[in-house]
Structure 1
Amino acid sequence: MEQLQAFWAGIPDLSGMAINLGMTLAILVIGWAISSLLGRWMRRIADRSPRIDPTIVPMVRSVTVWAVRIVVLLAVLARLGVQTASLVAMLGASALAIGLALQGTLQNFAAGIMLLVLRPVRAGEFVAIGGQGSGTVDEIGLFMTRFVQVDGIHILLPNTLVWGSPITNYSRNKTRRLDMMLGVRYDDDLEAALAALQALVDQHEGILADPAPQVMVMEYRDSTIMVNIRAWTPADQYWDVYFDLHRHAPQALRQAGLRSPIPLREVKSVPAPVEKDKAAHA
């Protein structure tokens, strides 16, 4: 009986192990689900609130979700009896080694933080990255920034290229200035051309009255006087106004009785010289 009792005492408590394993699994599943719900909740709140910049939502969501998941994993390991203190130290050493091996990736992460803090670009803005391309900013991630070109093609650029390149932001200001050059013949009525174009821009719905649009002579070329239209439009209507003016400005000049400018060359005929001996013989 004593040997039998010793044998049973040496067998692990299977019921306790099952309970511990079940609780560990429950912590893992519930913690993972909470992190996912927290990420969706943050995105939903950001979509509903106009005060939250949508540019920072993807990065903050990713950092929050994975921070919760790391805590859950540490809690699971502690439940299983693993010494988390030594594990954290080992993870720190591993992180240092990985950081040295992935310096470029960490530079992209740091550049992404700078893009979010200083915000030279924001989601929904149309920008041009010097030498890299142009498009509408769709998302600034931890390591990559996604743009959508006007033809619908997606461009992914490392954050270091975005941060380290000249950025031209076409959407940050509410208004943009439009410049358009047209040619008028020298022998046409210049004042009539200026008046017709001025009436066109003054009556256009997409052109702002303040600052007032201007029509002015800019330069003189071989056979053409160059006239410049300078007007301010809302940034979101710039291209609509641009294409509309290119369509109606030539029509306004033709209705005013002006002709389309074409290159002109004056050709003179010079009589051939008469040879002296032929003239003497005659």
Structure 2
Amino acid sequence: MHLNLLAVDIPALDTVDQKTQAFLVSLNALIPWIVTNGVNLLAAILILLIGLWLSGKVSRIVTAVLGRTPQFDAMLRGFFASLARYAVLTLTVLAVLAQFGIQTASLVAVIGAAGLAIGLALQGTLSSLAAGVMLLIFRPFKIGDKVQVGGATGTVRDLSLFWTELISDDQIQIIIPNNSVWGQALRNMSVHPTPAHAGELRFRIPETSDLDGMAEAVRHIVAADPRIQPNPTILFDRTGDTRALDVVVGFSTADDIVPAVKSDLIRAIHATALPTEPPAT
């Protein structure tokens, strides 16, 4: 009876030994794969960490370098800094994928084809982006300049990467895509402002008038008109009539509105500053 049990257990032990040997063989084959992929995983993590650090470093370097150039404003510095950062991150991702044996050449081709399709779909937007970069670099105008682009005229309030914002004289907002601003003639009326338009006003006062008081009263009236540029002149002149003097008011305006301003000054001065002549006896 005992011998029969031993005879039955020996095949079972052989089966266990075979399974153990098969497991050990599989484990021996798996260990190199685990080691290799573990090393690749560690290398990929290291490359990713270095790429993240390097992308931030490159972004800061680009910002600092462009900050020394006056024509690069904050928006343009941020744009190029982000561009450099994402370029480094793209190379980092490709290097990480290459660590796992993924063929990056085909992936780059797919990304390029997708980029081309997106570029064709967003052709107008990318054109405005490129024009915005050129406007920010060469600065044909700045914030606060009065410009004319096509049929639109206004003061520049904002310049972004995609559009230019103008405010017209009647306070209407005008948004123009940058490709329209860059692609046509632009008139900047603030670079070479037109010369001031000079005007002169004469009126007669009695010789016995208070000249200092008259000059102060006329100067106050002239200075109160916002259309007149600062520093008007108040002079006195004598004509052939020995009993009268001429008050000569010299002024200038930014726009060609001298006749209208002169008429308003005559009304204001005659209403408040001129002495009242005594009634004839």
The alignment's TM-score, normalised by the length of structure 2, stands at: 0.53
Q: How far is the alpha carbon of 1:74 from its aligned partner?
A: 1.8
SS at match of 1:11: helix
SS at match of 1:191: strand
Q: How far is the alpha carbon of 1:126 from its aligned partner?
A: 3.1
1:191 corresponds to which residue?
Answer: 202
Find the aligned partners of 1:59 and 1:37 in 2 and give their Cα distance.
15
Residues 1-282 of structure 1 aligned to structure 2 (within 5 Å): 2-11=21-30, 13-47=33-67, 49=68, 51-54=70-73, 56-116=76-136, 118-122=138-142, 124-128=143-147, 129-130=149-150, 134-136=154-156, 138-141=158-161, 144-145=162-163, 147=165, 157-164=176-183, 167-173=186-192, 177=195, 190-192=201-203, 229-230=251-252, 253=269, 257=274
Q: How far is the alpha carbon of 1:104 from its aligned partner?
A: 1.7
Structure index of larger Rg:
2
Q: How far is the alpha carbon of 1:161 from its aligned partner?
A: 3.3
Amino acid at match of 1:7: S
User: What stretches of structure 1 of length at least 5 have no aligned partner?
Assistant: 183-189, 214-226, 233-244, 260-282
Amino acid at match of 2:54: I
Q: How far is the alpha carbon of 1:8 from its aligned partner?
A: 0.6
Which piece of structure 1 moves more, 1-10 or 84-93? 1-10
Report if aligned partners of 1:136, 1:149 keep a CA contact under 8 Å in 2.
yes
Find the aligned partners of 1:44 and 1:155 in 2 and give their Cα distance.
34
Relative to structure 1, the CA distance from residue 148 to residue 23 in structure 2 (aligned partners, 3 Å threshold; closer, same or farther) is farther
Find the aligned partners of 2:101 and 2:89 in 1 and give their Cα distance.
19
Q: What is the CA RMSD across the aligned residues, in angstroms?
A: 5.0
SS at match of 2:163: strand
User: What stretches of structure 2 of length at least 5 have no aligned partner?
Assistant: 1-19, 205-214, 234-248, 255-260, 277-281
Find the aligned partners of 2:150 and 2:250 in 1 and give their Cα distance.
28
Amino acid at match of 1:191: R
Amino acid at match of 2:81: R
Q: Percent identity?
A: 30
Relative to structure 1, the CA distance from residue 42 to residue 157 in structure 2 (aligned partners, 3 Å threshold; closer, same or farther) is farther
Structure 1 or 2: more helix by fraction: 2
Aligned residues: 214
Report if aligned partners of 1:178, 1:231 keep a CA contact under 8 Å in 2.
yes
